[in-house]
Every structure is written in C-alpha cells, then in structure tokens.
Structure 1
Amino acid sequence: MSLVEVTDLSISFGDVQAVRGLSFSLEAGGALGVVGESGSGKSASAYALLGLHRGTGARVGGSIRVAGVDVHTADDTELRGLRGAKAAMVFQDPLSSLDPYYAVGDQIAQVYRVHNRVSRRAARTRAVEVLDRVGIPDAVRRSRSRPHEFSGGMRQRALIAMALACEPQLLIADEPTTALDVTVQAQILDLLHNLRRETGMGLLLVTHDVGVAAESVDEVLVMRSGLAVERGPVAQVLGAPREPYTKALLSAVPRIAPEPGGPAAATRRTVPDGAEVLVEADGVRQVFGRGRSALAAVDGVSLTVRHGETLGIVGESGSGKTTLGRMLVGLLEPTSGRLTRVDRVQMVFQDPVSSLNPRRSVGESVADPLRARGQRDEGAIRARVRELLERVGLDPEQYDRYPHEFSGGQRQRVGIARALAAEPRLIVCDEAVSALDVTTQAQVTALLAELQRELGLALVFIAHDLAVVRQVSDRVAVMRHGRIVEEGPVEQVYGEPRAPYTKQLLAAVPALDPALAAVRRAARAEPAAA
C-alpha cells in the first residue's frame, strides 16, 4: 500500500472550486513536488492530507489515505494520532507557527508528549536531540530561546525539528523556503534531502519555485486552477515538459545563466559616464544602537546610480540591503558619510499588504502622492489615478476596491502605480517580487522594464534572488555585513565573480537540472564533512 493515496480529490470554499478531481500517490521514502502558481490548489490539497479543512466550512470530496488512515472517515482521535505521529507538516511562515511566548524546546517537547507518554524531562531531552539533528548549534542552550531570538533559517529548522520529533512516516513541507535567502534556502533543502535519506520518510513538497522542486524531489506534479496538468520524474518534466502550461511555467523561471527557452534578460544598457547622477553615496554608514550594542547595518558604502540604468543589490538577509535602500530614498539619513539624491525618488516595498492601508481603497492610496504635492482638483486626481491603474495593467474601474480584493501580483502593481504618481526619476524596489510566484514575478519585472524604457526611470532593484537580479539589472552590487564586496557590470559579476562570497551565493542558487543540483549539493557538503 502507498504511503499516500489520493483519488478524485475535490475541495470547494463556498462557490470557489479550489481542487477538482485530483489523484496522485506517494510511495514510502519517495519525494513528490507539487508545483504551481498561487491559487493553483496545491496548498489546499496538502492541507487535506491531514484533514485540516475539517470544521472550516470547506467541502472536501474524494478519497484520501495517509499512512493507512482514511482521512475522511477518521474521527478526531484518529486524526490527532495521524498529525505529528504519522504525518507532520512544516508551514511557510515559522513565526506564525511558533508561539512567541514559549521557548522553542518547550514547544517541541509539548508536541512529543501529545503522542508519547513520557516525562517532561524525557520530552525536553528529545527536543534537544531533534534540534541538534537539524543543525541548530549549541542545541541545549538554544532550546531555551524564544522564536524571536532565532534567525529566519533557524526558525524553519526548528519547525522541521518539531515535525521530526515523533519520527513521522511523511513530512509535508508547504513553501518551506519562500522567505529565505539563497544560502539559507540551500541549507534547508540539503537538510530535507539528508533527513529523507537517513530516516526513510516520504516528502511532499509544495512550492511555486520550480528550482526548489528540482533540488529536492523524485517526481513532480504540476497543478493549475485546481487540476493536475502534468506528472512524472523530475528530470523528465523539467527537461522535456509535454504540456504547454508546464513549458510556460518553466520559461518564466529566471536563470543565473542564459538558457534556451528561459526568459530573456533585460536589454543591457551601457550608461555613459556623462549621464546624470541621480543618487551618489560616499562612505555612508548607518548605525543602530549605542555603545557595545551598536550595530553598523551599512558600513562605508559608496555607489552611484545614473539616469536610465538599473542597479541590482544582492546579499543575504542581514547584509544591509534594505537599510541602504531606505537611505537612498531618504527614509533614513546616514549616521555618517555623504549621500546626495534628486528630489523625485520613490520606493516599492516588499509586502504590499502591509504598505497599503486595508481601510482605504486602492485608488485613494494611489492618490496620496498627488495630494501630497498639493493637487486639490478631485476630478483631476481621480482621472490621473485611473490612468495610472491602467498603465500598470489594472482595470481603472477597480479604483474603489480594497487591497484584500486583489491578488499579490495585483497589489504589487498598485504599489508601483502609487510610486509613479509622484513622477519619480528613480524608484527603489525592495524585494518587490520575492513573495510572488514565477509567472507573476515575470509579469511585474517586465512591467518595471517597460516603464523604465518609456519614462526614462532609473531603478535600484534590491533582492536576495540572484537570478531575478541578473535578469533585470545592468550593474550589480553584492553586499555582506553592511559592505559592498563586489560591484560591476552584471555579465562580469555573474560570469567571472572575484569575491569568494559572490561565488558562494551563485553556487547556492537552485538548478533546474536535477543532476546539476545533486553535484552542487555534494559540493556544499564537502566543507561540512571535512
């Protein structure tokens, strides 16, 4: 009997049919990647494996068997026995999955005691064991830390440790690396691979990142609009896809190096030395805190951005990218150093949900910069906002709709429209596409490139995704610990990197070729084994 058997699964939320007639199986010890855009039904399907839709009002049909348990007919006691003990889930956002008030070790111990009659001391010992197993250094001490004291990657490791506590037969990972930079993402994917090899557990990996699937699974199931589009061995589906949708999905994936069938890189602009300098930083520093607790988030950075060019800024979380971006637009003034900029500078933020007021219509949010510049004619304001909404690919009739009525990609377009309302000469994009699936990501980057050509904008594109930065940038600066370790034309930095740190970042980018992914994984393991 298969570890997972799903037959004719259907899931409806009110009038919305999220999943339609989905069937698949997963053998013990196997790894299946479920890939698709946002709204394809992949996460809803994964939640159904643990009966997580029960009691939510969702209508679930078809047959689901996991580790011998019929999920539909199981009572609450049987479901509790399934969750955690036989099958466990790792969610996308570890901060929302971990209780901020309790130590991480205590939370893992509590999960272990739910399924095992052991003492508190034995449960604590088990918590330390699994934290150590997933690579948390000094696990005894760190088990007493609360979630906010862990980095993003460590929090994700802690969630994996919690899932492993009862030695489940199946691990379901729902977008486990979406918010992580490339090196931490590579570490988490390597960890999942090694754990599967050591324990023999099955893995169901839900992701919109095709490269992540290539790194981690044996087979791929491609979903669209609640339907299974294509399934097969990962090398076959990614190397020679049969279905047009799979081909389109793969063609939208940004590459580190140009490949046949991959998305076209931006037309490289050679900006003359005489082009107007819109922003110039000379040895700027940004220090937070005082005395021994002082932290130099940006430490002696010098750079220029000229009219009409795109400067990409890459680096891991904590490298100082966002702080530098906020300095470039004037949201933060340098602690020291010199920074000059033109007046008309705007920013597009990473999370459009938090940057748009949920109580105001998107039209009113886009209108704010117009009113801030002194415009008072409401008719002219409304006309200009409708023009801007149309310019970024939205329906002008959506002026009075609210942010929650839009998809993630549409909300980001609203953010771009709001930035354009101020008629900027420079836009700083801070992780503006990091939370979007690959096709939506490609649409937003194409929109920015089009706006740049038409309006003569300069762009600073901040991201931890090196492939996206390569696709859109003319020059790139690599940051680490608040400093720029390498800078130059994008072809030079990516083709012939000089700094060891740049080489390390490039080696961590997921490869679409599973064979190459295996070679890179082995290479990453060598220093750890030495």
Structure 2
Amino acid sequence: MNAMLKIKNLSIHTDAQTLVHNLSLDLYPQRPLTILGETGAGKSLIAAAVAGTLPGALKPEGDITLFDELNPLNRERFWGKEIALLPQEPWLALNPLRTIASQISEVHKLVLNKDKSTSEVRTHHALQQMELDSDGGKHPFELSGGMAQRAAYLCATQAGGKLLIADEPTKGLDESRRDHVGQLLLSHCQSFETKAPRGLLTITHDIKLAKMLGGDIIVMKEGEIVERGDANTVLENPKAAYTKALIHAQPEYWLMESPLSSHPQQVDSSSSNLHIVKKPLLKVHDLSIYREEKTLFSELTFSLDQGEVLGIYGDSGCGKSSLADTLLGLHNDFSGSIDWLQAVEKGQRLKLYQDPPSAHSPHVTLKTLLNDLCALHKLDRSKITALLDRLSLDQDLLERPSSQVSGGELQRFAILRALLMSPKLLIADEPSSRLDPITAAQTLKLIVEVSKEANCGLILISHDQLALSKLCNKVIDLSSY
C-alpha cells in the first residue's frame, strides 16, 4: 500500500533559527504514526506544514507528498474531507459565540451536504459518543477543558477526513476519557467501513496514548529526530537517552519520600530542612456546588493547614475547577460552610491555571507584567532576583512576551508571580497538563517544594491520581461525592 503522506528532508526555519531539522517520514493508511517529544520540539510545526497552515514568518524547505501529489498547492481544498485537523487548543478552535451542537451540525451541513434533520440526528449521536449529549446547548466557555477537547474532536472528525492530524488530543483529559479518545482515534484510522483507507498522524507528549495507538513512532527533541521505529519496540526498549528520560519522567518512576501524614504539627521541607509549624488555614464542611441547577458534587468535607498539600482528582466535569473557583470567591452557587481559620488578605488566595498562555498578556514583556503587579500591590521588587534563581529562570527571559516563552518557563513565571504576593492558599489547576513529561514532573515537584518553603497551603488539581499520591499529604477523589 502506498504511503498517504511522505515527507523528505523537511526543515522549518525563521530568518534567525531552524526549528525543524531535515525530517523525513512515511505515513501509511491504517497504521498510526505518532510524533512524541518535549514542548517546543517542533512537533506541531510539522502538522502545520502538512496542512498548509504555517505562519508566514516560518519558511519550510523540503518535499511533502500528500495523496500522491508532490508539494500540492492550495491545501485548503483538502480540509474537511481529505485532511481533518484536531488542534491542541480547543478553546481557540471552537467558535465562542455558538453552541457545541450547532458547530458539529454545521460540519454535516456544509462539508457533507446533509439536510437539517439528518445533521441534527448525527450530531446528537456524536455527542452521545463523547458523553456530551446534555451539553450540546452550551458554548465553549461553559465547558471544562476536557469537555472542550472532546467537542473539538467531534468537529474535526465528523466529515471523516482520510488523514486525521491530532495535535495533543488528550491534553486535559482524565485517564478514562484519554483511553476513550485513543480508541476513537484508532477506530478512525483502522475503519474498514469506508472505501478510502484512513491515516492517523498524532502529535503528543502522552506516552500512554502513544503506547495505545501503536504503529510507528518518531521521538523528537529540539527539532530533530532522536529515535524512530515500531512504537511498542521503542517504548519498551528505548535506545536514545532522551527517550529513556521521557519514559522515566512518568509518575510511576518517581523516587520520592512517602507522603507526609495529614496530621503532623510540623513539616520538614525537603529543600531547606526547616521545621515549619503548621497552622490550620481552612475548614470545609458539607460543601455542595451547583452550576445551572446541576449538582456537581455534594457533602464534601476537608481541612487544610499551612504548608500542607491537598490533591484533588476526578473525571472531567466533576467540579474540580468549580471547587477552586468557589474557594477563591469566584463562584457563589454552593451550600455548606467554608471557614477561614486565619485572616486572608486580598491577593493571598491565588490560582495557577492549566493553560499558562491564557493567563498572561502576549502583548507586553514579562518584565512589564511584574512591574505592573509590584506597582499595583506595592510589592518588594528585591524578591524577584532570588525567585528567578530558585525557579531556574534566566533574567533575560523577562525581556520577552509570553508568546516567545516555552510552556514550562511560562508556568514557572506564573509561580514566581504568585509567590511575590505571599499567598496563604495556592490552587494549581492542572498546572502540568500542557507540558511534556519531563517538564511536567519538574514543574509539579517545584510547585510542591516552593509552596512548602513559603508555608503556603496548596491544593493540587490533577487527572493523575498516581502523581498526586506521591506529591500530596492527602488526596480526594471528587467523583465519589
């Protein structure tokens, strides 16, 4: 069977820098091809080069043969029926002014030329597939990250494109839904129901997804291929040092001390070896949270001390982010009691968001953002240098806007910005879901360390129960409430 996609000696560069170096690959129908690697390795640029969506400032060199056409022009003609693209940022891919159901239905009407009745029936069936049948009337901003990702998947795949390019398709999804999306990707690729065989190109840093998909794999670092071959062979017996590092950055390989007891009066900070007296900070009793007359969870009770780490996990849409918003005073539709056992001033309840770019203005430098924060809250600027060093951030980074900073660096800058406020409660909402395994592991451990050093209560929200069990004093499964 001929390759559906052939890339030969592809390089992508700006006037000053080469971002992808001399890449070649073949993608065959019904055999998945996965590109695995760190944030900023150039993986998404390859997808953009194939689809014809590279920004004008980026120049490709080399050959791309797509559906037996060498370097085809006007690749927009392939979009929909020939190429389906599932982008990595669902909130940017979806129309914020229209409901999810209307956007899915539009694919049936405009791409497949189905009548209104047929489109609506197919849309309802698609929403049921993704357990979104009660959410079709919602707009993207009303969905959790995982729900938005599933909705974007439906929009991308309803026309049945022969080549599906999935860019980080499982970001922000819990384990069960990640497996569900993985199976859908496989069935899309390996379906024998259509006359034209289908291909799947997946770009990810999710090693478990890569294992599930199988087929062929390419491991990339800094724009270059470091290892390639059969996915199962490479992931079970990696040869390259970087591939080994990616695999061993997963929580099951973390070598950490046993989680601290949830009751001690002192905590031994692993980095400073200082004994810090823990004081009760927060007590929550019989908390139930509602959105749009729907109960997300009920009768939740817990307490949190200074310097203590509480983990929260559960299925997408179970109310994790709503719990964070409620504790931060941003959501008021709840019952039960939230008692603050210490005085908490304005700006001492803070949140680290799961999508760092959305939390920072891209139009000014990071230095300007810090200057504005210090001026607004009359903060001590002398702390900045020490925090930059503690968080392994270069001073020169502050001269760039957020759009020119990697996801891992930007999340560490967000930690710096929060610590400047001397918070008593810090809520980290999926702070590593946008990061590759190595950067994610470093970031999660760093958040825990600096929170303990600052004697700050930390609530860590994640889909990864194993990671939380190794990082937190206690863990709550919100799906059980």
TM-score norm. by structure 2 comes to: 0.83
Change (3 A) 1:69 1:471: farther
User: How far apart in 2 are the matches of 1:243 and 1:138?
Assistant: 40
Residue 188 of structure 1: which of 168, 181, 191 is its match? Answer: 181
Match of 1:337 in 2: 337
Deviation at 1:33, TM superposition (A): 0.8
Aligned letter for 2:17? V
**Equivalent in the alignment of 2:269:** none
- Which residue among 278, 281, 302 is the counterpart of 2:281? 278
| Structure 2 residue 221 is matched with structure 1 residue 217 | no
State the number of aligned residues: 456
Residue matched to 2:37: 36
- Matching residue of 1:84: 80
Q: Report what 1:517 is aligned to.
A: none
SS in 2 for 1:318: coil
Say whether residues 1:269 and 2:260 are aligned partners.
yes
| Shift in CA distance, 228/283, structure 1 to aligned 2, threshold 3 Å | same
Unaligned runs of 5+ in 2: 266-277
Taking structure 1 as reference, are residues 81 and 311 closer, same or farther at Cα in structure 2, changes over 3 Å only?
Answer: same
What's the secondary structure of 1:11's corresponding residue? strand
Q: Describe how 1:99-178 pairs up with structure 2 within 5 A.
A: 99=95, 100-101=97-98, 103-113=102-112, 121=115, 125=118, 128-129=121-122, 132=125, 135-136=128-129, 156=149, 159-178=152-171
Q: How far does the alpha carbon of each residue in 1:399-445 deviate from its partner, in whole angstroms, 9 at most, with x for none?
A: 55443342222221122112222333443222222222222212212
The answer to whether 1:315 aligns with 2:311 is no
Shift of 1:246: 0.7
Q: 1:347 aligns with which of 329, 347, 350?
A: 350
Please give the alpha-carbon distance, in whole angstroms, between the structure 2 residues aligned to 1:3 and 1:294.
49
1:10-25 correspondence runs (5 A): 10-25=11-26
Equivalence for 2:272: none
Question: Could you say if the C-alpha distance between residues 319 and 272 of structure 1 is closer, same or farther in structure 2, counting changes exceeding 3 Å?
Answer: same
Counterpart CA distance in 2 for 1:338 and 1:133 is: 40
Q: How many angstroms apart in 2 are the aligned matches of 1:354 and 1:28?
A: 36
CA distance in 1, matches of 2:173, 2:201: 19
Unaligned runs of at least 5 residues, structure 1: 256-261, 376-380, 486-530
Q: Please name the residue that 1:497 is paired with.
A: none
Question: Following TM superposition, by how much is the alpha carbon of 1:230 offset from its aligned partner in structure 2, in angstroms?
Answer: 0.5
Give the distance between the partners of 2:151 and 2:397, measured in 1 at CA: 42
Query: What is the CA–CA distance in structure 2 between the aligned matches of 1:452 and 1:46, rounded to whole Å?
Result: 38
Cα-to-partner distance string for 1:434-476 (whole Å, 9 max, x where unaligned): 2222222122122223324544444221122334323321210
Contact 1:90–1:160 (CA under 8 A) maintained in structure 2:
yes
- Tell me the distance in 1 between the aligned counterparts of 2:140 and 2:79: 22
Task: Sort the Cα spacing of 1:305 and 1:51 in 2 relative to 1 into closer, same or farther, 3 A.
Answer: same
The letter of the residue matching 1:234 is A
Distance 1:392 1:136 in 2: 43
Task: Give the equivalent residue in structure 2 for 1:415.
Answer: 414
The structure 1 segments of at least 4 consecutive aligned residues displaced by more than 6 Å after TM superposition are 137-146, 148-151
Give me the CA root mean square deviation. 3.3
User: Does structure 1 residue 231 correspond to structure 2 residue 228?
Assistant: yes
Partner of 2:268: none
Q: 1:150 to 1:68 in 2, by over 3 A?
A: farther
Identity of paired residues, percent?
28
The residue that corresponds to 2:73 in the other structure is 75
- The residue aligned with 1:305 is 304
Query: For residues 67 and 225 of structure 1, what CA distance do their matches in structure 2 show?
Result: 29
Per-residue CA deviations over 1:67-103 (Å, capped at 9, x if unaligned) read 2122x2x232xx3443333332222233433444472
